Structure 1
Amino acid sequence: MESNSTKIAKIATKMAVCDRSEEDEFKKIYSQKGIKVTAVNIGGNINSSVSKILESALVASKRNGLIREEHLHEGAVIGATRDAIIQISNKASGQNVGGKIGIARGGEHISVCIFLSIGLLHLDEVVIGIGHRSLPI
């Protein structure tokens, strides 16, 4: 049996890897199931983009109603996003990246997934990181 935290993490991952047209469809589908989702594109040098990634995840979460403008809610998104960044940082350090942040919230569970393509000359590498927090409903 799948836990709610696992289910929400899978949905956040799906949001991070989908294309723009699928995002709107997923928003409708998951909204009917009581799950809020969002995604935001990111890119640039990973080392200089960390604060921008944190800000983008927070702003997208607020704009799409995944969290309220409260210390606990904001801290949960920042914490989960930082966990995801830590998971990708070794592989992407110093490199130019492009990709997406996918965020899903169902009940007390919120997951942030970062999916990136890393440009290395003519070779492309990919990396994925995910973070989870629980927060008050």
Structure 2
Amino acid sequence: MESNSTKVAKIATKMAICDRHEEERLKKVYDEKGIKVTAVNVGGNINSSITKILESALVAAKRNGLIREEHLHEGALIGAARDAIIQIGNRASGLNVGGKIGIARGGEHISVCIFLNIGLLHLDEVVIGIGHRSLPI
């Protein structure tokens, strides 16, 4: 039996890896199931982009109603996003990246998934990181 936190993490991952057209369709599908989702594109040098990635995740989550503008909600989202960044940090350190952040909220569960392409000469590497928090409804 799959837990709600696992379901929400899988949905965040789908949002991070889908294209823009599919993203709009998934928003409608998950909204009907009571799950709020959003995604935002990110890119640049990973070392100088961490603050921008965190800010982008926070703004997208607020703008799409996944979290409220209050300390507890914002802290949970930033904590989950930082966990995801920590997971990708070693592989992407100092390199240029491009990709997407997917965020999903179902009830008390919120997950942030970061999916990135890493530019390394002519070799394209991919990396994924995911973080989860629980917060009051």
TM-score normalised according to structure 2 size: 1.00
Which segments of structure 1 move beyond 6 Å, counting only runs of 4 or more? none
| Structure 2 residue ranges without an equivalent (≥5) | none
Deviation at 1:107, TM superposition (A): 0.1
The equivalent of 1:113 in structure 2 is: 113
The equivalent of 1:39 in structure 2 is: 39
Query: Does 2:10 align with 1:10?
Result: yes
Distance 2:79 2:51 in 1: 13
3-state SS of 1:86 partner? helix
Deviation at 1:111, TM superposition (A): 0.0
Structure 1 segment 1-137 matched on structure 2, within 5 A? 1-137=1-137
Distance 2:128 2:114 in 1: 6
Deviation at 1:96, TM superposition (A): 0.1
Identity %: 86
Deviation at 1:9, TM superposition (A): 0.1
Considering only aligned residues, what root-mean-square deviation do their CA atoms show, in Å? 0.2
Q: How many positions carry a matched residue from both structures?
A: 137
Distance 2:53 2:77 in 1: 11
List per-residue Cα deviations over 1:37-70 (Å, max 9, x = no partner): 0000000000000000000000000000000001
Counterpart of 2:95, as a letter, is Q
Deviation at 1:130, TM superposition (A): 0.1
Distance 2:89 2:108 in 1: 27
Distance 1:54 1:132 in 2: 14
Deviation at 1:8, TM superposition (A): 0.1
